[in-house]
Amino acid sequence: MAHPKRRQSKSRQNKRRKNINVENPQISSCKTTGKAHVYHRAHEHEGKLYYKGKVVLDQNKSE
């Protein structure tokens, strides 16, 4: 089996790996609000924080 003669540096390794994450993020629309957001991320709409179509945090009540 062939083995590299020298260890690759971290910067060279990262240059090779950086191209994996170049794609555009997937965007979905919320079922309850209809607002576009990135998958698996909470989003804000009218002072409320939504995740998976449910209110996670209501900023109007906390005041």
- On the question of pLDDT at 49 being above 80, the answer is yes
Q: 5-28 b/e with 16+ CB inside 10 Å = b?
A: eeeeeeeeeeeeeeeeeeeeeeee
User: What tens digit of pLDDT does each residue of 1-44 get?
Assistant: 788 889 989 999 888 887 776 677 789 998 888 999 988 889 99
pLDDT confidence of residue 61: 72
Identity of the amino acid at 23: E
pLDDT confidence of residue 21: 66
Please tell me the pTM assigned to this model: 0.57
Q: What are the residues whose beta carbons fall under 8 Å from the beta carbon of 58, sequence distance 6 or more? A: 47, 48, 49
The DSSP bridge partners found for residue 54 are 51
Helices (H), the chain: 10-17, 59-62
